Structure 1
Amino acid sequence: MGLCKCPKRRVTNQFCFEHRVCVCENCMVTNHPICVVQSYLQWLQDSDYNSICELCSKELNVEDSIRLTCYHVFHWSCLDHFSRQLPPTTAPRGYTCPSCKSPLFPPSNLISPVADVLKEKLAGVNWARAGLGLPLLSEDREVKAVVNHVTTSTISSSSKSPNSTHSVVNVEDQGAFSRTGADGYQASSNRRIFQDVREVKPVVFDHDDDKYKRRPASELVKTWWRITFGGPSKVRGGRSIYKKYCMLGIILVLGVIVLMLIMSRLGRYTTENDPNFDIRNNPNIHVQHVQALD
């Protein structure tokens, strides 16, 4: 268990493998949309990770991706193609995560930012609307997954002319394309829902990285003083001021007593072997040795 670094400071058990910080579900949606996130215990057992889609083995940042409620991330086009391969009569329980085989559709009573984004994404395709209990869409209203792959064919030499050049571009049916130059085409999708933000915000310095380091005695004293009397900018009442002065007086008296004891001990050590302080060497003092009688 740990605290997320967001201002809400939520208690969470999920850990971002890429940034090595605890994250809540709100941060997964906003700041870590395509990061590898699993439990902190799994990170302790094995911290290795691959930021790829397990269905196509490509990087997650090359296409629009979606996170399931089990926190595994896949390309939306790959997940859509994978789910469309199942028979139309497949029950909602038959749609599972390709990685961990957990249910793909979130429960209706689940309150989760990740589940809300997933439901909005799944609501655009008919195979998922049936599992969510929603009415089916018409073919023209159904959202098709956009795949960022463009294949070009060779130019036919029979159709060439000296003054004009023609190129044949074979594209997939899911995307629409607009002309940008003499020989180039730019891909653009007609409709997208919850496109991931690819620029992840930089994570600030984690001040809890050294919380298990051994601290010097001076820092322990400062911590005790801050807990006892509060910070310097804290507004204190009259009772707190009297308490402060009383504590300072007690510390001063104890310091004087300790100093006197130290000086007395040091003075005794310096005069113990000094012949000038031996009474036997003083001519004005006569010491008579009396032998004990049997």
Structure 2
Amino acid sequence: MGLCKCPKRKVTTLFCFEHAVNVCEHCIVVNHPKCIIQSYIRWLHDSEYKPNCGLCNGPLESEECVRLICYHVYHWRCLNNSVYEQIGKRTTDDLPDFKCPDCNKLILPQDKVVSPVAAALREKLLTVNWARSGLGLPEIMNEEEFKPNSELPLQHLKKNSPPMQASKLRDDVVLHVDENMFPTSRPEETAQFPRRVGHGSSNSKLLLVEEDESKYRRRYSIFAIPRWLKSIGSKVCSLKRNPWKIITVLIALFVLWLLFSLTGSSSHELNETNLT
């Protein structure tokens, strides 16, 4: 027995196995509609659980669920299919007592049972005729329809189905790709296209692209050296054609050397006078 964490702060014996917290029935309906809920004492004896439907063994999160008054939770689709299998060709006057597949308690809540879980269950049961007949209510025309268990939702099939292997793909699916659809690009951009696995022709084309790329890079590096030397030679030739530039540079260097020498000698003489 513990205290619920919700604002109602009710004392409860129910325990959420998934979140490991005490919960009241109000919290179960609002915050834990698909969690495994049982007594706290049962959790102390065995805390292991599987968040799966007890009828199809699929994850509870994959479909809409309904919780019985015994707190067992099932897929709403699976529970209806199970009940219709029990009904068979029986008439409404000869319906069996629908019971929970796990604990054999009655699915239909009695009138004296008043709780948030029972209210949510009654609201869901009013949408199907088998439950309305058991509760003494007239049948409805727009009954909720359900597909057989074999027709699971697409999302559930994707989770349980193994991934498709590349070896099982048809050859014509890959061979019918039109390579003219790709725009013309430089060799270094062409090598960035993904590989196509399983065909020798595509691999050979990719190798040719990589080989062309390496040749292009080598050719570019070989041609870059003569261009660099040629640019240096052109600058030297321009200086030879105009000798006044050379004379001006030499005069400027001489003036700088003279200034540095004069400043160095003057500083040396000042140091000697200070020492004397």
TM-score, normalising length from structure 2? 0.51
Residue of structure 2 in register with 1:71 after alignment: 71
| CA RMSD across the alignment | 1.8
Of the candidates 100, 117, 121, which is equivalent to residue 120 of structure 2? 117
Residue of structure 1 in register with 2:145 after alignment: 144
Q: Could you list the structure 1 runs, at least 4 aligned residues long, displaced by more than 2 angstroms after superposition.
A: 87-93, 145-151
Give, in angstroms, the shift of residue 133 of structure 1.
1.2
SS at match of 1:74: strand
Measure the CA separation in 2 of the matches of 1:49 and 1:107.
Answer: 29
Task: Report how many aligned residue pairs link the two structures.
Answer: 149
Residue of structure 2 in register with 1:23 after alignment: 23
- The CA deviation string for residues 65-104 of structure 1, in whole angstroms up to 9 with x for no partner, is 0100000000000000000111334766610001111000
Give, in angstroms, the shift of residue 145 of structure 1.
3.2
Q: Is 1:51 paired with 2:55?
A: no
Letter in 2 for 1:103: L
Task: Summarize the alignment of residues 1-294 of structure 1 with structure 2, pairs less than 5 Å apart.
Answer: 1-87=1-87, 88-89=90-91, 94-138=97-141, 141-145=142-146, 149-150=153-154
Measure the CA separation in 1 of the matches of 2:72 and 2:13.
Answer: 15
Letter in 2 for 1:10: K
Residue of structure 2 in register with 1:231 after alignment: none
- Rate the CA distance shift 1:92–1:67 in 2: closer, same or farther, 3 A: farther
Asked if structure 1 preserves the Cα contact closer than 8 Å seen for 2:86 and 2:96, the reply is: no
Measure the CA separation in 2 of the matches of 1:92 and 1:31.
Answer: 34
- The CA deviation string for residues 31-79 of structure 1, in whole angstroms up to 9 with x for no partner, is 1000000001100111100000010010000000010000000000000
Gaps of 5+ in 2: 158-276
Letter in 2 for 1:28: I
Percent of paired sites with the same residue: 50
Letter in 1 for 2:133: A
- The CA deviation string for residues 205-254 of structure 1, in whole angstroms up to 9 with x for no partner, is xxxxxxxxxxxxxxxxxxxxxxxxxxxxxxxxxxxxxxxxxxxxxxxxxx
Give, in angstroms, the shift of residue 135 of structure 1.
0.5
Residue of structure 1 in register with 2:246 after alignment: none
TM-score, normalising length from structure 1? 0.48
**Structure holding more helix per residue:** 2
Measure the CA separation in 1 of the matches of 2:95 and 2:37.
Answer: 25
Gaps of 5+ in 1: 152-294
